Amino acid sequence: MPRPLSAGVLSGDQDRADRVAGLLRREPQVGEVRIFDDEASLMSAVRGTGFDLLLVAVPDFGTAFLGTMSRIEDAPPIGVVAEEFDKDVVIDAMASGARYFINLGDGGREIESMIGRVSADLESSSIGRTQLVVSAGGGVGATTLCVELAAAAAERGDSAVLVDLDPFFGGPGVMLGLDADFGVSDLVSGADAASMRTTAIGFQDRFAVLLGPAASGGRPVGTKAEVTALLAMISSSWESVIVDAARIPLDDLLPAATSAASVIVVLETSIDDVRVAVDWRRRMLAGGVDSDRIDFVLRDRRGMVAVPQSEWSRALGDARVHVLPDEARVVSSAWMKSVPVRDSNRRARVSRLAEQLLPTAVEGGAG
């Protein structure tokens, strides 16, 4: 399921506000609903944490306020609520930026269809942008693949960001030679587009990087709700979002995975990792992740007793599997400090794989 919607209700009448909030909470797609009785507190909340939807009671608050709200960058869709239908009110509200009208006189029957449209818009805006790259442990090449995915997205013209969620080792920062005092941990409590872009570090004017807890000294992004909300915010500000989610429990990633363009599982061809691959695929399918959005990248290490291809092919069935053979030559990360060149056979393979795994560009992206 997509993440729950958050909504704000602005009304000068507490009874009316409670009725509207009750109608919203009746819809299974809706999570948090906050009530406000003054414009200033609502404006502060929109800029601080954001909502997926705002409902404003008229005539308590007029069309001038609607116009102000609709001009805020990344403003959520706005609906107006009234005790009865009034054509002039509807026309004025729509001209001021409102998208929906809710008539409380007939029980607010429009609420259900409004929530359905907002949910569909939110899901379509995030699918196609986010790629989760996951692994059960470190050292399998997940971070290298993340960097190549971000580079490939930037090369095709996307505004791209690499997000490091690994709580134990700041791989992207180490590989790219980046460090900062701020990162994703500082965005968990809520952030607008401006603060996200200020927190992100640019790499060679090619793509942005949001450093993880290990690199920036912040606390881990530790809960399912935090991961989901954080990635939803980030996906609204960049066209391609590449997430290095190594060592994050799969259960904490499942809600975000259901709305991601793809989930890329990077493992080794050992018996233990093949068992992990089978288990994770089963759990993702059960959690609502479509099979055509799951890719496995298996790294075949030198000196490792590997599971024969016939065996893991049988175990994973019709899953998409890509194999990266190991190379005798160790790949240095020094290439990241200059214009990238394909300085090894293995890196060339990873680069080609990244281009293959990159999802189709989103029409009308965030830019």
Q: What is the pLDDT of residues 69-125, one digit of tens each?
A: 767 766 788 888 888 887 777 777 777 778 888 888 888 888 888 888 787 666 555
User: Out of 24-33, 90-99, 136-145, 325-334, which region has the weakest mean confidence (pLDDT)?
Assistant: 325-334
In a domain, 367, yes or no: no
What pLDDT score does 3 carry? 64
Sequence-separated (6 or more) residues with CB below 8 Å from residue 232:
3, 122, 126, 256, 259
| Residues 120 and 132 placed together within one structural domain of the fold | no
Are 50 and 190 in contact, with CB atoms under 8 Å apart? yes
| Residues 75 and 178 placed together within one structural domain of the fold | no
Sequence-separated (6 or more) residues with CB below 8 Å from residue 206:
150, 151, 154, 155, 160
Distances (CA, A) of 365 to 58, 63, 71, 236, 330: 33, 29, 19, 9, 37
Overall average pLDDT of the 147-156 stretch: 88
Domain finish residue from 109, 124, 139: 124
Confidence of residue 335 (pLDDT cuts 50, 70, 90): very low
| Residues 23 and 140 placed together within one structural domain of the fold | no
Rounded to 10 degrees, what is the CA torsion of 339, 343, 347, 352?
A: 70
Overall average pLDDT of the 270-299 stretch: 87
Are 102 and 108 in contact, with CB atoms under 8 Å apart? yes
Of residues 227 and 53, the one with the higher pLDDT is 53
Number of domains in the chain: 2
| Residues 213 and 349 placed together within one structural domain of the fold | yes
Of residues 195 and 101, the one with the higher pLDDT is 101
What pLDDT score does 294 carry? 92
Q: Which two tokens stand for residue 95?
A: 């001209």
C-alpha closest to that of 32 among 6, 10, 54: 6
| Residues 133 and 102 placed together within one structural domain of the fold | no
What pLDDT score does 364 carry? 42
Look at residue 303 and tell me whether its pLDDT is greater than 60: no
Q: Which two tokens stand for residue 243?
A: 């997430």
Confidence of residue 243 (pLDDT cuts 50, 70, 90): very high
Percent over 70 (pLDDT), the chain: 81
Q: Which residue has 């190549």 as its token pair? A: 148
